[in-house]
Structure 1
Amino acid sequence: MQRLRLPLVAALLLNLSIASASATDRDLPSVTAESVVALAKKLSPEMAAAVLDADSASQRVGAAGVQPDPVVTLQAWDVNSRGVGQRWIGAQQTFRLWGKTDLERGVAEADADAAWHRSHAIEIDLVARVKTAFAQYNAAQRAVALSKSLKQRVDQLLELLRLRYGASSVEQEDVIKAELEAANAAADVARREGEAKSTAARLNALIGRDARSPLGAPKGFPSLKTKLTLAGVQDLARASNPQLAATHAQVRSATTAKKLTDLNYYPDITAGANFVQRQTGENSGMFMLGFTVPLQYEAKDAEQRAASASVGAAQARNEALRIRLDGEVAEAWFRLEAVRKAIRIFEQRQLPPAKLSIETARSGFDAGTTSLAALLDSERRLRAIELELLGLKIEEQSRYADLERLAGGSL
């Protein structure tokens, strides 16, 4: 029962944390992956709703597995013109025996356990989406910096060509090319800044803040574990995935409900007593004992068949989810491995030559041996490689977050 009480405590703490969130938390969070995840857990209405749903299910346990309320009766007998001849004051209580109340409580506890795991699944899914959105925000900010750096270099080149035009071998066509390139660079900066604002709005919405709330500069991509095995992640997912745990609880609930329907053939007992008060003569008492007669066998047989089908369906859903989970983990793991290989290729075999190409082109342009077109091509090539590398790092963060979501938590 300690676990079942946890959602209530969590809900209270969550409400308190939302109410007491400081202006600093709401306006200027420290923008790291860990800080935005912590803020999302504190402020997200989606998370609050999931916790309260789990608490609602846990509270229903207290209403299950109890005996019916007793019935108090007041009766008047021999009522005529002379008044009431007898007054009966009594009470009746129905007892559900044979372990029916324990099984009802077991069903409610299993349902509450499933609700708790579903709440945990929503939290883990939210964390994965926040981490992916943070990676996109971080990459968008980095792309803005790259675009501004390129714009600055092109502007400096354009200024140099304007100064040399007419005084050296610089032709008007080169100046025009540089002006067009500078305009393209300025447009790219504007587009990248718009994308950065868009990713910031998406991240704010996931956290539970206003889309226009300011976000500080991100502190880079979080470090990820590199030594992961597919079998290890699959084993962790089978043991810790909350959706799979929820289906386990649903199987337990359906199995317990099936046992409860088996007891429908056993009668319930009703006991009662009356105090008889007479106007003349001695007062006396009456006692009563009754029981239900389970004659509707066809209905009870149908209930058993329905309960058996529910057990089979719950077991099939659990097995289907386990198989699908293994497949999704393998899919995410292989994609993560492929992305990491691509990142290594870009960092080791494409980025260094592109940087060297720019240095060579700049030296050659200053010496008059490299054309303006070749210099601009090398600048664009380096920027394209850097942006492609950013996209790969976003995908790496996203695939890793998918693996954590499937595994049920941090790897």
Structure 2
Amino acid sequence: MSRGRRLRAISFVESAAVLMCSTSLSATERNLPGANVESVVALANQLSPELAAAALDADAAAHKVGAAGVLADPTVTLQAWDVNGRGIGQRWIGFEQEFKLWGKLDLERGVAEADAEAARHQSRAVATDLIARVKAAYAQYGAAHRAIDLSLGLKRRLDEILALLRLRYGASSVDQQEVIKAEIEAATAETEVARRQGEAKAAAARLNALVGRGSQEPLAMPKGFRPLKTKLTLAGVQELARVANPALATTGAQVRAAIGTKELTDLNYYPNVTVGANFVQRPTGDNSGMFMLGFKVPLQYEAKDAEQRAASSRLGAAQMRYDAIRIRLDGDVAEAWFGLEAVRKAIRIVEQRQLSPARLSVETARSGFAAGAADLATSLEAERRLRAIELEILKLKVEEQARYAELERLAGGSL
């Protein structure tokens, strides 16, 4: 085979290997979570031990309903009478069963169902809180990678300026101090890139921990911030929160459980009834039976009065907590909503009144510096000012994402 053919064959093999490697990497990248917020939220629902623990607590409370509102196990008795040297005179075989009357069983089941409902809403509260934190952390993760891009762009521009000054040094009016200053600025930009890369790794570790993964597990590159609804009204979000907020629903279920407990203590003055029967077996003569009906006499009125007063206090406390959470919820929603509106206004102001002039200033400074009509200080200042404005917008957008996630948490789900 000629040398040219061998080179072409090697080149073909290398190209195929690169293509296969890039295809494999792109497939791996597609399978990684982190490209969008939905992927990490789904992973949190699947892996988070915090959510699993809350779900198990709710499951345990639900199973308790099956043990409430049922009769106690009956008692079976075996008795021997007239036992002496000649043997056993009589054998009694019987059972006893206690019956809770006056609707006590239904009340016990109602209390258990209310407790199970409270546990279920509490589990949902844990889920909405975690999802809100995941969404805020994902915004920081995306912003960290965007900040790296901005820092790299500034570094490339400063490297270009430094290279141009070195070419001009000695051949024009550029002196050594300007070259040194450009070198210091380029080194500062490189330091900033390293710092931003560290922040991105920290944001990824924080996000992995929230979803229940190892801190160094790989994540896909973020594709940007998630889109947010802009047409929201304060009254609409407050109404949704009153209906769907899990903390308020939990307290409502606790009020219903306290009402049932209070009614049960009211019925403590009415005794339970015990019914029994015995079969009497005699060695001589006819066998016979016995029947028994008994109840406890409610003489300890002071103890029952104390239980009733305690149940009344617990019910009042539960009702006051419900009112307090309802009032505070309206305030928290209003606070988050006004904060979100303020951040959005700030973003519009910075984008419309600062970003465009800063970009124009950079273009003018670059053209002037390339033509030798603008000095180094003017060009550097324009570049730094543009990057500072872009980073400020990035910071505001992260805050917007976090405030929107907080509003969703208060509303009990996605808006």
TM-score (norm 1): 0.93
| Separation (CA, whole Å) in 1 of partners of 2:49 and 2:223 | 26
Partner residue in 1 for 2:320: 316
Q: Decide whether aligned partners of structure 1 residues 107 and 207 sit closer, same or farther in structure 2, where only a CA change above 3 A counts.
A: same
Residue in structure 2 matched with residue 226 of structure 1 by the alignment: 230
| Aligned residue type for 1:181 | E
Q: Which runs of 5+ in 1 are unaligned?
A: 1-22
Spell out, residue by residue over 1:173-195, the C-alpha distance to the aligned partner (whole angstroms, 9 max, x if none). Answer: 11001100000000000000000
Deviations 1:46-86 (CA, angstroms, capped at 9, x unpaired): 11111111001000011111111100000011011111111
Deviations 1:6-47 (A, max 9, x none): xxxxxxxxxxxxxxxxx9799822520111111111111111
- SS of the aligned residue for 1:276 comes to strand
1:25 touches 1:39 (CA, 8 Å); kept in 2?
no
User: Hey, what does 1:62 align to over in structure 2?
Assistant: 66
Q: Which residue of 2 aligns with 1:100?
A: 104
The reply on whether 1:339 has 2:368 as its aligned counterpart is no
Identify if the C-alpha distance between structure 1 residues 325 and 24 changes in structure 2 by more than 3 Å, giving closer, same or farther. farther
- Superposed CA RMSD in Å reads 1.4
Partner amino acid for 2:283? Q
Q: CA deviation at 1:200?
A: 0.4
SS in 1 for 2:79: strand
Residue 12 of structure 1 aligns with which residue? none
Provide runs of 4+ in structure 1 moved above 6 Å: 23-27
- 1:218-263 Cα distance to aligned partner (Å, 9 max, x none): 0100111111111111111111101000000000000011011111
Are positions 1:180 and 2:187 aligned together?
A: no
Name the counterpart of 1:10. Answer: none
The residue number in structure 1 matching 2:258 is: 254
Deviates more, 1:195-204 or 1:24-33: 24-33
Match of 1:273 among 272, 277, 282: 277
User: Is residue 382 of structure 1 aligned with residue 386 of structure 2?
Assistant: yes
Provide the residue aligned with 1:283 in structure 2.
287
Alpha-carbon distance, 1:321 to partner: 0.3
Q: Structure 1 residue 39 and structure 2 residue 43: aligned?
A: yes
AA aligned opposite 1:225: K
Contact 1:26/1:209 (8 A) holds in 2 = no
Percentage of identical aligned residues? 72
Shift of 1:166: 1.0
Match of 1:150 among 129, 139, 154: 154
The answer as to 2:172 corresponding to 1:168 is yes
Aligned residues: 389
Separation (CA, whole Å) in 1 of partners of 2:164 and 2:406: 49
Q: Does the 8 Å CA contact 2:30/2:220 hold for their aligned counterparts?
A: no
Q: CA deviation at 1:167?
A: 1.5
> 2:28 & 2:159 partners in 1: Cα distance?
38
Cα distance in 1 for partners of 2:30, 2:387 equals 35
CA distance in 2, matches of 1:341, 1:53: 43
Q: 1:204 aligns with which of 199, 208, 212?
A: 208
1:114 maps to: 118
Query: d(CA) in 1 for partners of 2:163 and 2:31?
Result: 40
Partner of 1:16: none
Q: Residues of 2 paired with 1:214 and 1:237: CA distance?
A: 36
Q: Tell me which amino acid in the other structure corresponds to 2:259.
A: T
Q: Which residue of 2 aligns with 1:403?
A: 407
Q: CA distance change for structure 1 residues 106 and 190 in 2, over 3 Å: closer, same or farther?
A: same
For 2:159, give the aligned amino acid.
Answer: D
2:9 aligned partner? none
- The one-letter code of the counterpart of 2:95 is A
1:123 maps onto 2:127 in alignment:
yes
> Residues 205-226 of structure 1, C-alpha deviation per residue, up to 9 Å, x if partnerless?
0111111011111010011111
Q: Counterparts of 1:140 and 1:257 in 2: how far apart (Å)?
A: 53
C-alpha deviations, 1:243-289, integer Å up to 9, x for none?
A: 00000000000001101111111111111111111112211111111
CA distance in 1, matches of 2:72, 2:38: 50
Q: Secondary structure at the match of 2:224?
A: coil
The match for 1:368 is 372
2:84 is matched with: 80
- Match for 2:93 among 86, 89, 92? 89
Q: Does structure 1 retain, via aligned residues, the 8 Å contact 2:33–2:39?
A: yes
Q: Secondary structure at the match of 1:223?
A: coil
Kept in 2, the 8 Å contact 1:130–1:203? The answer is yes
Query: Which structure has the larger Rg?
Result: 2
Q: 1:31, 1:284 → 2: CA distance?
A: 82
Look up the match of 1:135: 139
Question: What CA distance in whole angstroms lies between the structure 1 residues aligned with 2:29 and 2:347?
Answer: 34
One-letter code aligned to 2:241: A
Distance in 1 between residues matched to 2:214 and 2:30, nearest whole Å: 9
Give distance in 2, aligned partners of 1:207 and 1:158. Answer: 44
Secondary structure of the residue that 2:76 maps to in structure 1? strand
Indicate which of 352, 357, 360 corresponds to 1:356: 360
Matched, 1:296 2:300: yes
AA aligned opposite 2:72: P
Instruction: Give the distance between the partners of 2:105 and 2:35, measured in 1 at CA.
Output: 52
